Amino acid sequence: MDRRHQDIVGGLFAGAVICYLFQKWIAPKTSSKSKEEKHFDEDIVEGVEGLIGNTKLVRIKSLSEATGCDILAKAEFLNPGNSPKDRVALEMIQSAQDKGELTPHQNDVVYEGTAGSTGISLAMLCCSLGYKCHIFMPSDQSKEKSDVLELLGAHVQRVPPAPIVDRNHFVNAAHDHALQHTKDNSIPGKGYFSNQFENPANWQAHYKTTGPEIWRQCGGHLDAFVAGSGTGGTMGGIAKYLKSKSPSVKICLADPPGSGLYHKVLHGVMFDLAEREGTRRRHQVDTIVEGVGINRMTRNFSIAKPHIDYAYRITDEQAVAMSRYLIVNDGLFVGSSSAINCVAAVRLAKQLGPGHRIVTLLCDPGSRHFSKLYNPEFLKKRNLDASLPASLDFVNP
């Protein structure tokens, strides 16, 4: 075979090898990539209720670096109603529907007594699910919350603060109006009192969703959970779930001035400096912290109490200082209950020592607190310093 024929045969052989390699390795990958680019799975949720939950867990850099602990926060303000109460409101409504206590698009009205956040969550979901909403709230709560409620179509009644034994207490007022609505045949639809303080759907919402999310996001590795408590549902559901996964996880309560839960956990008696168990005709001590703290045992807090290992009293001064510290050092603009959660998380970190992982909650945005927490004139009247703290020394160990 002459040289010309050898070149032709060699070229054909080389071409065959290239074709073989292309068919075996290159073409399948290109085809697979092309198919992947053309095919997308739909990822669509149903209504605003589909946006609730699966919030991010964020490492708060400034607090973590200052303490040597991993201080993580569940960003519950990223729920569509800007608080963890979205989870509770959805669970309560769905539970009532399952029991036949609510029927959508039949003029049924959801009644609730709330400091604001639960009402906002209920009003939002009532719009989406076919109900009306009637909210009773204490008149000393921030106006921003009642403004949002009214924008969401809720009927809002602000009532003077009163002890729970008084029928004019905002929770009792909601209960009585719901009952009256249902009994009065001249009023269309039924009245449903969602009863967030005693409704087991409250803690169950967090046992089903928030607790498992925290465990999964931490990869099953956490040393402690810290939060304030109002109804007791958030603390109850999350604490119960985390303890079921790892009994060694420490649960810590952050309690504001005027609340009796701190002494209830530590000493078994509902007590504050201005209040003793059984003397319920005094008003709660005034505090700028909204949404947490209470002076009675609720059904939901009774779920939480057996699981709580520590309790800290957090002052208004500490809450204000932490709110400013988080803005400047982390860009986190949060409300008062979030601030006391972070104070308690730092305090627990100092107690446990470096190397621990502590999880807390960022409950709502600071935009709901302009009239009090972020109002310089209001703070000045309370002799509260709104300046930026230079360090975390304001958190006592």
In a domain, 309, yes or no: yes
Enter the tokens of residue 343: 């104070």
Contact by Cβ (8 Å): 294, 229: yes
State the virtual CA torsion across 30, 32, 36, 38 in degrees, nearest 10.
70
Whether residue 228 is found in the same domain as residue 351: yes
Alpha-carbon separation of residue 262 from 43, 209, 258, 378 (angstroms): 44, 26, 10, 27
Per the domain annotation, does 233 fall within a domain? yes
Mean pLDDT of the chain: 90
* 232-281 pLDDT, tens digit each: 999 999 999 999 999 999 999 999 999 999 999 999 988 655 554 444 44
In this predicted structure, what is the pLDDT of residue 341? 98
Residue 85 annotated to the active site: yes
Residue pair 376/384 in contact (Cβ under 8 Å)? The answer is no
Which percentage of the chain shows pLDDT scores above 90?
A: 79
Within-domain flag for 374: yes
Phi, psi for 379 (deg, rounded to 5)? -65, -35
| Other residues' Cβ atoms within 10 Å of the Cβ of residue 151 | 10
State the pLDDT at residue 182.
94
Establish if 12 belongs to a structural domain. no
pLDDT attached to residue 39: 77
Domain count, the chain: 2
Q: Check residue 142 and give its pLDDT.
A: 81
CA distances from 340 to 45, 117, 121, 289, 362 (A): 33, 17, 22, 8, 10
Continuous H helices in 184-289: 201-205, 211-217, 233-245, 261-267
Position 4 in a domain? no
Helix runs in 1-112, H state only: 3-21, 27-38, 61-67, 85-98
Report d(CA 143, CA 290) in Å as an integer: 12
pLDDT, position 366: 95
Structural domain contains residue 91 = no
Least reliable range by pLDDT among 21-30, 90-99, 117-126, 366-375: 21-30
Active-site pick, 74, 85, 145, 250 = 85
Q: How far is CA 348 from CA 27, 146, 291, 293, in A?
A: 58, 34, 22, 19
- Helix spans in 130-260 (H): 143-151, 170-183, 201-205, 211-217, 233-245
Last residue within a domain, chosen from 141, 160, 189: 189
Q: Answer yes or no: is pLDDT of 12 > 80.
A: no
Element (H, E) at 362: strand 357-362
Structure tokens at 298: 């609720």
CATH number of the domain bearing residue 327: 3.40.50.1100
Nearest Cα to Cα of residue 277 among 174, 163, 162: 163
- Average pLDDT, stretch 151-171? 93
Of the candidates 136, 156, 189, which is a domain's last residue? Answer: 189
Q: pLDDT tens for residues 45-56?
A: 999 999 999 999
Q: How far apart are CA 238 and CA 188, in angstroms?
A: 38
Which of 189, 221, 249 is the endpoint of a domain? 189
Q: Nearest 5°: phi and psi at 177?
A: -70, -35
Residue 296: closest CA among 259, 265, 253, 266: 259
Residue 40: pLDDT band by 50, 70, 90 thresholds? confident
Q: Within this chain, do residues 231 and 185 fall inside the same structural domain, yes or no?
A: no
Note whether 319 and 385 are same-domain residues: yes
Answer whether residue 220 is part of any domain: yes
Range of the domain at 307: 50-79+206-395
Same domain for 341 and 212, yes or no, is yes
283 shares its domain with 182? no
Q: How many residues does the chain have?
A: 397
Do residues 314 and 169 share a domain? no
Q: What is the pLDDT of residue 144?
A: 87
Three-class secondary structure of residue 86 per DSSP? helix
Mean pLDDT, range 6-34, rounded to an integer: 53
Residue 45 domain flag:
no
Residue entry with tokens 């529907």:
97
Question: Which tokens hold the place of 147?
Answer: 């403004």
**Angstrom distance (rounded) from CA 195 to CA 201:** 10
The verdict on 235 and 180 lying in the same domain is no
Q: Are residues 137 and 271 in the same domain?
A: no
Whether the pLDDT of residue 14 is over 60: the answer is no
- β pairing state of 191-193 and 224-227: unpaired
- In this structure, of 67-76, 125-134, 159-168, 339-348, the range with the lowest mean pLDDT score is 159-168
Task: Let me know whether 345 and 385 are in one domain.
Answer: yes
Residue 284 has pLDDT above 80, yes or no: no
Q: What is the pLDDT of residues 185-243, one digit of tens each?
A: 999 999 999 999 999 999 999 999 999 999 999 999 999 999 999 999 999 999 999 99
SS3 255: strand
Burial class, 77, CB count within 10 angstroms (exposed 0-12 / middle 13-18 / buried 19+): buried
Q: How confident is the model at residue 24 (pLDDT cuts 50, 70, 90)?
A: low
pLDDT band, residue 336 (cuts 50/70/90): very high
Burial of residue 207 (number of CB atoms within 10 Å: 0-12, 13-18, 19+): buried
Does 255 lie in the same domain as 369?
A: yes
Q: What is the pLDDT of residues 347-388, one digit of tens each?
A: 999 999 999 999 999 999 999 999 999 999 999 999 999 999
CA–CA distance, 102 with 191 (Å, rounded to integer) = 8
The answer to whether residues 64 and 118 belong to one domain is: no
Averaged pLDDT, 12-35: 54
Q: How many CB atoms lie within 10 A of CB 101?
A: 16
Q: Are 338 and 212 found together in one domain? A: yes
